[in-house]
Structure 1
Amino acid sequence: MAKNSRIEWTNHTFNPWWGCVKVSPACKHCYAEAWAKRVGSKVWGVGSERRFFGDKHWGEPLRWNATAQAEGRRVRVFCASMADVFEDRRDLDAWRERLWALIATTPWLDWLLLTKRIEHVERLCPWTDAWPSNVWMGTTVEDQRRADERLPMLAGLPAAVRFISAEPLLGPLDLGQWVGSLDWVITGGESGPHARPSSPSWFTALLNQCMAADVAFHFKQWGDWAPGQGINLAKARAEQADDGTTMLRVGKKIAGRTLNGSVWDGLPIARTI
């Protein structure tokens, strides 16, 4: 959990528990797994127990909600950075119920539920046709296969905001007929010791699709790899991206988050439901 999160597209993060199982290529170098191991939590994998938290932890969003109401401004809460709310395990059901109740009692918080298990959402969430207006539903689509599998299911969910996280972007992405069902696209490259470089043309193509369909676009980062043009680092490791661009491993800070000369911090407008 983090008040004033360092993740650029949210205000706070909240984790109802820690732990998960890898299910797709974006999971290969999972930052959350690495962080959990670093602090001594063995919570990754099918056979591992999940880490749960007490009342003090669960009370934090109530305080965020009170502050947001007093200031008259909505705030965004990413749930969950260290887990997947829709992991299909029965030991998580009671904690999911607690989360649904928390969402209902914090109307000044917009809850960003991001999952790689979009196929479980209708069965595991408590809402049918009438979703709460403070629930934003997202799924990860790191490549075309995941987009083709997950976007039709996301499009059918009546959330106030539907969004995708194409991070790390691992291939060219054509949102096709589903772009009109989206309100927000978040994308970026991979960071960390084993980061894979993304092709700049993939991001530009995604930006163009969003602009054509009037979808909010957020470019989070290049990650550890950035286009080599204009970077004078003679000792930097170089690798050719799929589109032929020479990418240099310069680290997340130097690589930055400027795409085509601009910083893209688009935010969606919630639908009326």
Structure 2
Amino acid sequence: MAENSNIEWTHHTFNPWIGCTKVSAACDFCYAEAWDARGLHKLPSRWGPHALRTRTKDWGKVLRWQKTAKAEGKRYRVFCASLADVFDNHKSILPEWRDDLWGLIRKCPDLDFLMLTKRPQNIRRYLPDDWGDGYQNVWLGATVESQQEADRLAALTNILAAVRFLSMEPLMGKVDLSAYIDKIDWVITGGENGKNFRPVDPDWFRFLRDQCAAADVPFLFKQWEGATRKAIKSKGRALDGVIHDGYPKPRLILPSNDSSAAA
């Protein structure tokens, strides 16, 4: 679980627990499942509807990151979680795990927790009782790889949050975001990594870029597709000669008696 992440859009990665179940085409060649199968541990597989999720022992790292961020007067982005889905409703994810996670987040006001899910329909169910109009340091995101999955955005955009974002990676088709773009604060996109990578049409990325530009939504183009990270890196990160590294400005979450700025 990375102290400093190689993922372009985050500083750190924290996995409160590990394990998931595939839900759509973007999951076909899941990097996390592949990691789980490499023999890096002695536990059975944690992937699939019948596999148990397991809690990690890395929670203390997050408090150290908070201490560093406060001392430096900086904010750090924490991707939570890269080897699981925080909003997975699997029965082995105990309620106290979720309570502990929200408690940890409350203790770390200088860290922004990026919660990315393929199950935005479950978000509201698992938010803490004091969520109100959102936590200032929690960004809620959904993965949308094709137009078919764009229906996920209705659930995401109906929840107030400091930032609502999309991870459109691996992008698998042209996606029209016009029905939701005015409620989205950030779009990340990129191609697939791995020996089974599926080719992309550059026009898919251009279409997202242009929609974001028209709606004044920050756009981040993460990578092209390729069989290895070396191959992907050799292509660079430019789209039509431009590197797109847009980041959102979180909306201010006001006390619960004044929610006018969080709409």
Q: TM-score, normalised by structure 2?
A: 0.91
Deviation at residue 129 of structure 1 after TM alignment: 2.9
Q: 2:259 aligns to what?
A: none
Note if 1:185 corresponds to 2:187: yes
Q: 2:27 aligns to what?
A: 27
> What is the distance in 2 between the residues matched to 1:256 and 1:81?
23
Q: 1:64 aligns to what?
A: 65
Q: 1:155 aligns to what?
A: 157
- In the TM superposition, 1:125-136 aligns within 5 A as 125-127=127-129, 128-136=131-139
User: What residue identity is the alignment partner of 2:75?
Assistant: R
User: What residue identity is the alignment partner of 2:236?
Assistant: G
Q: 1:261 aligns to what?
A: 241
User: What residue identity is the alignment partner of 1:9?
Assistant: W
Deviation at residue 256 of structure 1 after TM alignment: 2.4
2:55 is paired with a residue whose SS is: coil
Q: What is the aligned residue count?
A: 247
Note if 1:50 corresponds to 2:33: no
- In the TM superposition, 1:221-236 aligns within 5 A as 221-224=223-226
Q: 2:101 aligns to what?
A: 99
> What is the distance in 2 between the residues matched to 1:253 and 1:10?
18
Deviation at residue 70 of structure 1 after TM alignment: 0.5
Q: 1:75 aligns to what?
A: 76
Deviation at residue 9 of structure 1 after TM alignment: 0.2
- In the TM superposition, 1:111-130 aligns within 5 A as 111-127=113-129, 128-130=131-133
2:54 is paired with a residue whose SS is: coil
Deviation at residue 192 of structure 1 after TM alignment: 0.2
User: What residue identity is the alignment partner of 1:179?
Assistant: I
Deviation at residue 51 of structure 1 after TM alignment: 2.4
User: What residue identity is the alignment partner of 2:168?
Assistant: A
Could you say what the CA RMSD is over the residues aligned between the two structures, in angstroms? Answer: 1.5
121-130 or 169-178, which deviates more: 121-130
Q: 1:5 aligns to what?
A: 5
2:77 is paired with a residue whose SS is: strand
2:148 is paired with a residue whose SS is: helix
1:91 is paired with a residue whose SS is: coil
2:101 is paired with a residue whose SS is: helix
User: What residue identity is the alignment partner of 1:60?
Assistant: K
> What is the distance in 2 between the residues matched to 1:256 and 1:43?
34
Q: 1:149-185: per-residue Cα shift (whole Å, max 9, x none)? A: 1111111111100000000000001001210101100
Q: 1:215-243: per-residue Cα shift (whole Å, max 9, x none)? A: 00000000207xxxxxxxxxxxxxxxxxx
User: What residue identity is the alignment partner of 1:33?
Assistant: E
Q: 1:240-260: per-residue Cα shift (whole Å, max 9, x none)? A: xxxxxxxxxx82222221111
> What is the distance in 1 between the residues matched to 2:104 and 2:97?
10
> What is the distance in 1 between the residues matched to 2:186 and 2:68?
26
1:177 is paired with a residue whose SS is: coil
1:251 is paired with a residue whose SS is: helix
Q: 2:90 aligns to what?
A: 89
1:219 is paired with a residue whose SS is: strand
1:102 is paired with a residue whose SS is: helix
User: What residue identity is the alignment partner of 1:4?
Assistant: N
Q: 2:18 aligns to what?
A: 18
134-143 or 1-10, which deviates more: 1-10
1:251 to 218, 231, 234: 231
1:137 to 129, 137, 140: 140
Runs of at least 4 residues off by over 4 Å: none
State percent identity of aligned pairs. Answer: 52
Alignment check: 8 A CA contact 1:224 1:255 kept: no
Instruction: Flag structure 2 segments of 5+ consecutive residues without an equivalent.
Output: 254-263
